[in-house]
Amino acid sequence: MNVSIPDCFMIAFAVGVIFGLIYEALRIIRLIMRFRAAVFVCDAVFFILAAMVVCRLSEFLGNYVRLYTILGFGAGVFTYIVTVGRLLNVLESAASVAWRNTLGRLFHKIGGLAKDNSAKFIHSIKNVFSKIHQYSDNLTKKRAERLQLNPKMVYNNNNNKDKKTHGEGENTHVIKAKVRKSP
């Protein structure tokens, strides 16, 4: 289809104005999700879609991507953003603040409920942990009592009659020690 340059520019301009609605939808997502990654993804999606639309439009208008098609499309998007987009931006900002506050209150309530329930759960199993602690203490005390029951020297028993011929016994160079419970 052969279209004159001014007609091609105006068609691209009209498509750009309509494509401004896609920009508006992505701007709403950007306002709700204030993460840098979300802004980057929304911008990348917009520019990829815009490139695809310009290519399809150029193909429809004459099988060539022409500068006036790109300029008309860009002018249409720009016109939408500075006119209708500015008016909608005020409404979107107010709506996004209300939405984020509502979500903030919801997450705050959920967090409070989780905190209360986890505290109740921990208090309910406190007895289990105290029983485990008592059992562990009892085992430690029993081990200490077994060591205290036999206060004899563990090493260097002088009852060894088998000494070597040179007068040195097996226990000559061993330190004598008694097993005691430390305070």
Please report the pLDDT score of residue 48 as a whole number. Answer: 92
pLDDT tens for 55-65 read 888 888 877 77
Residue 20, C-beta contacts closer than 8 angstroms, at least 6 positions apart: 76, 77, 79, 80, 81, 84, 85
Mean pLDDT confidence for 97-105: 77
Q: Model pTM?
A: 0.48
pLDDT of residue 153: 45
What digits encode the pLDDT tens for the residues 114-143? 887 887 777 778 778 788 888 888 888 877
Report the pLDDT value the prediction gives residue 175, as an integer from 0 to 100: 64
Cα–Cα distance for residue pair 55/139, rounded to 1 Å: 79
Mean pLDDT over all residues of the chain?
A: 77
98-104 mean pLDDT:
77
| Predicted confidence (pLDDT) at residue 83 exceeds the cutoff of 60 | yes
Contact 53, 14 (CB under 8 A): no
Give the pLDDT band (50/70/90) at residue 148.
low
Confidence of residue 94 (pLDDT cuts 50, 70, 90): confident
Q: How confident is the model at residue 151 (pLDDT cuts 50, 70, 90)?
A: low
Residues of the chain above pLDDT 90, percent: 2
First-to-last C-alpha distance (Å) of the chain: 100
Judged against a pLDDT cut of 60, whether residue 165 lies above it is answered with: no
The mean pLDDT value for 38-48 works out to 88
The amino acid that residue 118 corresponds to is S
